[in-house]
Structure 1
Amino acid sequence: MENKGIQRRALVMLAAAAGVHQAWAQDYPSRPIRLVIPQGPGSGADATGRQLADFLSKHLNASVVVDNKPGANGILASSIVAKEKPDGYSIFLTSVSVASFNQHLYKKVPYDALNDFTYIAPVADASFMVVASKQSGIRSWADFVKKAQAEPGRLTYASGGLGNSTHLYMEKIARDLKLDLRHIPYKGSGPALMSVVSGETDLMCVTTVTALPQYEAGTVVALAQSGDSRSSRMPAIPLVKELAPQMPALPGWYALVGPAGLPADVVRKLSGAVMAFLDDETNKRRLNEQFLFPIPGTSEQIKARAVQEAKVWGELIKSLNISLD
């Protein structure tokens, strides 16, 4: 009889706890949410994050405050969010670099990209272009490949820095096509692109939103664009996947994550809000203007993608013997 009494009390306590949790989840959010951005104001991540924050504020009927924490390729922001209480009031706009590259680029990363975060929802994927200097004499992808094969080690490509996406993507193209190119790193994509414009370097893989003004001004030659379909603003520019089908997709995605252990109800609420954001026609238009492709999907799908990207690009980073410590 005593054992039955203990069991009944335990069941009552469990039911009460479940009721408290359900009530808490229904009340969420009841205070402002902090959205941490791993880049500074004016960056691509900042523009995307602020657009998302504005929509979430209205959709969730709670203030969503952007908190810019630039530094160490997203390591600072990641470390902060990983240590926060998993209650849904500190969330993070992560990126492929933070989630899939950093653990291979740095000897010591103070967070586990997969296990220290709850993946909530994918947000958007950036478009890239491969461009050439007008002074290089390259006028098409075929010209690029032919010239690189004829003169191994002579063609140069610029990047926004060692281990930067603009470095890794161009190196992957060179490896997959068995080309010998020389890498010239710069401090940021802006100066790197200017080196292509001036003819100081021959090539670059860069985000479309950065390269498009130069392409439209006629100061660089566009060789290829990333994505699954050609941009309506560049219908004559072929896709990388058309020219080099063996190449993996050039990823530049953002996703919403929180600290590990976020309650499932909170994840569902936030992921539903992100889906609504991506379904909204105004948001679609604004993302497209920044050459960002909405990538609706589940938390499981974006986490699986992070794992796959880490494998593909981690192997490349290892083969290049890159260490940023």
Structure 2
Amino acid sequence: MARNFKKNRPLAIVKHALAAIVLVAAGNAFAQSGAAAYPTKPVKLVVGFAAGGPTDVVARAFADHASKALGQPFIIDNKPGAGTVIAAQAVAIAPADGYTLLFGATNHTMIPALYQGRVKFDAMKSFRPLCTVAGSPTVLVVAPNLPVKTLADYQAKARAEPGRVTAGTAGVGSSGHFATEVFARAQGLQLNHVPYKGAAPVVTDLMGGQLDSSFATLGSVLPQIQSGKLRALAVGEPQRSALVPDVPTFAEAGGGNYAADVWYGVLAPAGLPESIAQALERTAADFAKSSSAAEKLRGMGMEAESVCGNAFATRVAREVTTYSQIAKALDLKAD
């Protein structure tokens, strides 16, 4: 028996080697099929705002599309508070496996400016920006009783009465606040910033004439512009918005190359596998291209857009730098 074993030993070694190769190949195939099958369970989409707001509404529209496209539920998890820091923190410390994602907005790039090292994550390094899916330009609107009809009129009034023309925003450090300060600094104007607790009271006081102006997201004031209750002087995009085609850009109206908009998009924890990132980017890009998404977004004063991968990461980095510089110059800090 011993002689037979020794005689057949080379054959046994070959069989064991072949078996090992088969097992490795099977393991690789399983891993590849697992990556290709993503997702295999529900995906959590964390939103840093309460239900019903613009970011939440866009997130739900994207989640519905992604659920159908990828075959697993995309579940909205609202974590409002602290200027979206709570939501961002939850995603930053989550496993980078594609099952916890952040549906964020421009506010994400304001975190370093306002919290200046007081958070436990990095707004850039802790995340992998995947794709934007929608955007809403900033539009300068004025009260119906303000005696200005053009951007040139507005600037002339602000220069003639330094610190008298009021500009309302949704709060200190909000996207509207930064948009206001960027324009004022570029044009050498002294505007009287009036912070509110949200966009709705800004619109109410504008229509009532208690407030002069606001650098607002188009989505927050589109119905009032269309009904004539507010006057739009300029839109902060390189080209005119299809939603308000009669409103000139700031460049056309004499406001230089000023542009400001709010983006809405998907970010993942840093270290997300490339195959999963590509699947999510394709899904987000397809959502932005869909006619149903475009129609829904237009109804909210937004436009579909798709900025993905490195281009999105570059945009995030640029905004972080810009907002940090402005916050430092104005000594802005979150409470």
> TM-score, structure 2 length as denominator?
0.88
Say whether 1:104 aligns with 2:142.
Answer: no
Shift of 1:246: 3.0
Q: 1:26 to 1:232 in 2, by over 3 A?
A: closer
Q: Which residue of 1 aligns with 2:333?
A: 323
Q: 1:297 to 1:18 in 2, by over 3 A?
A: farther
Q: 1:319 to 1:17 in 2, by over 3 A?
A: farther
Work out whether residues 101 and 268 of structure 2, in 8 Å CA contact, stay in contact via their aligned partners in 1: yes
Shift of 1:19: 4.2
Q: 1:283 aligns with which of 269, 285, 293?
A: 293
Q: 1:134 to 1:323 in 2, by over 3 A?
A: same
Whole-angstrom CA distance in 2 between matches of 1:266 and 1:84: 15
Give the alignment of 1:121-132 within 5 angstroms: 121-132=131-142
Q: 1:56 to 1:198 in 2, by over 3 A?
A: same
Q: 2:324 aligns with which of 286, 310, 314?
A: 314
Whole-angstrom CA distance in 2 between matches of 1:259 and 1:33: 13
Shift of 1:276: 1.2
Whole-angstrom CA distance in 1 between matches of 2:145 and 2:131: 43
Q: Which residue of 2 aligns with 1:166?
A: 176
Once the two structures are aligned, what percentage of the paired residues are identical?
A: 30
Work out whether residues 75 and 110 of structure 1, in 8 Å CA contact, stay in contact via their aligned partners in 2: no
Deviates more, 1:49-58 or 1:281-290: 281-290
Q: Which residue of 1 aligns with 2:87?
A: 77
Deviates more, 1:68-77 or 1:281-290: 281-290
- 1:168 aligned partner, one-letter code: F
Q: Which residue of 1 aligns with 2:6?
A: none
Give the unaligned 5+ runs of structure 2. Answer: 1-16
Give the alignment of 1:243-262 within 5 angstroms: 243=253, 244-247=255-258, 249-262=259-272
Shift of 1:173: 0.9
Whole-angstrom CA distance in 2 between matches of 1:150 and 1:291: 33
Give the unaligned 5+ runs of structure 1. Answer: 1-7
Q: 1:152 to 1:184 in 2, by over 3 A?
A: same
Q: 1:297 to 1:131 in 2, by over 3 A?
A: closer
Whole-angstrom CA distance in 2 between matches of 1:194 and 1:138: 19
- 2:64 aligned partner, one-letter code: D
Deviation track 1:112-153 (CA, whole Å, cap 9, x = no partner) reads 111111222222111221111122212211110111111112
Q: Which residue of 2 aligns with 1:200?
A: 210
- Superposition RMSD on alpha carbons, in Å? 2.0
Q: Which residue of 1 aligns with 2:105?
A: 95
Work out whether residues 236 and 261 of structure 2, in 8 Å CA contact, stay in contact via their aligned partners in 1: no
> TM-score, structure 1 length as denominator?
0.91
Shift of 1:104: 1.0
Q: 1:186 aligns with which of 180, 196, 215?
A: 196
Which consecutive aligned stretches of 4+ in structure 1 deviate over 6 angstroms post-superposition? 11-17
SS at match of 1:240: coil
Q: 1:163 to 1:14 in 2, by over 3 A?
A: farther
SS at match of 1:266: helix
Q: Which residue of 2 aligns with 1:56?
A: 66
- 1:228 aligned partner, one-letter code: P
Aligned residues: 315
Whole-angstrom CA distance in 2 between matches of 1:314 and 1:285: 35
- 1:150 aligned partner, one-letter code: A
Shift of 1:182: 0.9
Whole-angstrom CA distance in 1 between matches of 2:245 and 2:130: 34
Q: 1:150 to 1:113 in 2, by over 3 A?
A: same
- 2:114 aligned partner, one-letter code: L
- Specify the structure having the higher radius of gyration (Cα): 2
Deviates more, 1:69-78 or 1:112-121: 112-121
Say whether 1:267 aligns with 2:244.
Answer: no
